[in-house]
């Protein structure tokens, strides 16, 4: 039976893609077929003559199953902007039912699917829908990536409350040391351990050149994930 996880972050630029790729490598030690999904990606460059998003590429590199781009990145927007603005500029409407259809197809090809959201949990996808609506529609357990920097406690607390308000489960969280100069990071992690009420899955160190495969060894997966 295929199961999935939805990865969100306390903000944009907190290392969701790195954490998601490392999580895929960690899951691959227990499941032969794992695949990452970036439903909505804003920002694309030419790779091998085709437009692609760096986050989607990172997830593909960490996956053990190769799938068509229409499945693992159904919405690719050229401009690196908030998805609702990038979509409007591209003349595209982001369809949650369409994304759900792609996800369902992935579940038939993999044992585990890691879905990485765009930006923060409430990032706008249109004038009426947000990333939280997508997460709610998928109904998956949520993994929260906390970028350890000044202000992260407030962002993490607000995101936890937003996840719960949608009736979703915060299955775990990842502490990512994005700011090597942050003061008292261990004290921040201690507060988050108590407040979030979910297991700390991994504490990722700051790396000038991040290596998702190496970071996978730092994950402590719950027994029911293995």
Catalytic residue of the set 16, 38, 149, 177: 38
CA dihedral 71, 77, 80, 86 (to 10 degrees): -130
Q: Rounded distance, CA 62 to CA 69, Å?
A: 15
DSSP annotation of 159:
H
**Number of domain units in the chain:** 1
**What are the angstrom distances between the C-alpha of 82 and each of 60, 163, 218?**
23, 20, 31
Structure tokens at 60: 């593909």
Q: Rounded distance, CA 222 to CA 201, Å?
A: 8
Residue 99 CA to its chain's centroid (Å): 15
pLDDT (tens, 9 = 90+) of the chain, 226 residues, equals: 678 999 999 999 999 999 999 999 999 999 999 999 999 999 999 888 888 999 999 999 999 999 999 999 999 999 999 999 999 999 999 999 999 999 999 999 999 999 999 999 999 999 999 999 999 999 999 999 999 999 999 999 999 999 999 999 999 999 999 999 999 999 999 999 999 999 999 999 999 899 999 999 999 999 999 8
Q: Rounded distance, CA 13 to CA 2, Å?
A: 29
pTM confidence score: 0.97
- Is the CB of residue 114 less than 8 Å from the CB of residue 140? no
Q: Rounded distance, CA 56 to CA 38, Å?
A: 6
CATH assignment of the domain containing 179: 3.40.50.300
> Which candidate, 87, 13, 5, 10, places its Cα nearest to that of 44?
87
Beta bridge partners of 200: 173
- Give the number of C-alpha atoms closer than 13 A to the C-alpha of residue 26, restricted to the C-beta side: 23
- Is the CB of residue 35 less than 8 Å from the CB of residue 47? no
Beta bridge partners of 184: none
Q: Tell me if residue 16 is catalytic.
A: no
Q: Which domain holds residue 149?
A: 3-225
């Amino acid at each position: 039976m295929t199961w999935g996880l939805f990865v969100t972050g306390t903000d944009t630029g907190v290392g969701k893609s790195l954490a998601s790729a490392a999580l895929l490598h960690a899951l691959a030690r227990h499941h032969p077929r794992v695949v990452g999904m970036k439903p909505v990606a804003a920002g694309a460059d030419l790779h091998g003559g085709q437009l692609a998003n760096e986050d989607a590429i990172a997830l593909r590199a960490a996956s053990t199953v190769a799938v068509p781009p229409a499945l693992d990145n159904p919405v690719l927007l050229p401009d690196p902007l908030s998805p609702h603005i990038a979509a409007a500029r591209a003349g595209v409407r982001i369809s949650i039912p369409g994304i759900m259809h792609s996800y369902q197809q992935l579940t038939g090809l993999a044992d585990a699917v890691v879905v990485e959201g765009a930006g923060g949990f409430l990032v706008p996808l249109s004038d009426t829908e947000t990333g939280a609506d997508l997460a709610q529609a998928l109904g998956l357990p949520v993994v929260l990536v906390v970028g350890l920097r000044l202000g992260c406690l407030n962002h993490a607390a607000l995101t936890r409350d937003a996840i719960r308000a949608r009736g979703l489960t915060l299955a775990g969280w990842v502490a990512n040391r994005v700011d090597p100069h942050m003061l008292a990071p261990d004290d921040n992690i201690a507060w988050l351990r108590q407040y979030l009420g979910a297991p700390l899955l991994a504490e990722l160190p700051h790396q000038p050149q991040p290596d998702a495969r190496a970071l996978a060894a730092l994950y402590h997966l719950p027994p029911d994930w293995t």
